[in-house]
Copies of this chain bind each other. A is one copy, B any other.
Amino acid sequence: MKILKKIIYTLVVLIGAISLGFIIWGSTPAHPMPEAISALKSSDAVTVQTGKWLVFEPAGSTPATLGYIFYPGGRVDYRAYAPLAEAMAEEGFLVVIPRMPLNLAVFGIDKAADVMAAYPEINHWVMGGHSLGGSMAANYVYEHPDQIDGLVFLASYPADSNNLSTYAGSVLSISGSLDGLATPVKIAHSIGLLPTNTEWVNIVGGNHAQFGWYGPQKGDNAAVISREEQQTAVIQDTLEFLKKVDQ
């Protein structure tokens, strides 16, 4: 009995330590760069709300008819995508970036449901995400294909168990040719998991971390183009896509 007690005690301590380590790991995300923090300020064109969600709302008199829900990459502070969101809102779209538990979208897959419930006036919903965030957005779309009209992957792809090849909505996949994490091989593999009319954009010279504003990332390659250039390409392609879905 003494030995059993010891084993149980050791297991409890081990599980506790691992959990604590995991929480600390998840609670220390990559920090947003100053450019991302600047994009959180409301302007004449965009009203920004911060909190459990970042909400970027066009400030003009014409209300948005399309909402874009964006899931952040794993262990990346959700504010790191504020410049992308601001650019979409400037063009008339509502953009919402939910904060994820432990900065891991895998623990907040269903956040989109709360967002959609809060904005019943929106006609079209598009989900998107970077890296792990894109995969989790794909998981939501896989479970609720009729709720979402479009899906945007930034350096991301669905899990093999979330085959979306029969999804009737629109899909855009944007990747970087020098991405060391969502590599060209992994992106190409996702061709079989997505509809045949998916739009594929590969940014030559772009990498994984420059899809956001949080600095470099372990396992990634150095980019040959600047973060500004990569972001400009992402914004342009995403905006074209959103406009088509909004028609």
Contacts and interface: CB of A to CB of B under 8 A. Distances in A.
A185 B178 contact: yes
A103 interface: no
Contacts of A203: 200, 202
Which of A177, A200, A203, A204 has most chain B Cβ within 10 Å?
A: A204
A188 interface: yes
Contacts of A224: 188-189, 191-192
Nearest to A200: B204
Contacts of A173: 204
A202 B184 CA distance: 10
Nearest to A174: B204
State the copy count for this chain: 2
Contacts of A187: 177, 204
Contact of A191 (B191, B192, B202, B205): B205
A210 interface: no
Contact of A177 (B188, B192, B225): B188
A135 interface: no
A139 interface: no
A175 interface: yes
A204 B191 contact: yes
B188 A205 contact: yes
Q: Identify the interface centre among A175, A202, A203, A224: most chain B CB within 10 Å of its CB.
A: A202
Interface in A189-203: 189, 191-192, 200-203
A136 to B, nearest CB: 22
Contacts of A189: 224
A188 B178 contact: yes
9 contacts: A177-B184, A177-B187, A177-B188, A184-B204, A188-B205, A189-B224, A200-B203, A200-B205, A202-B203
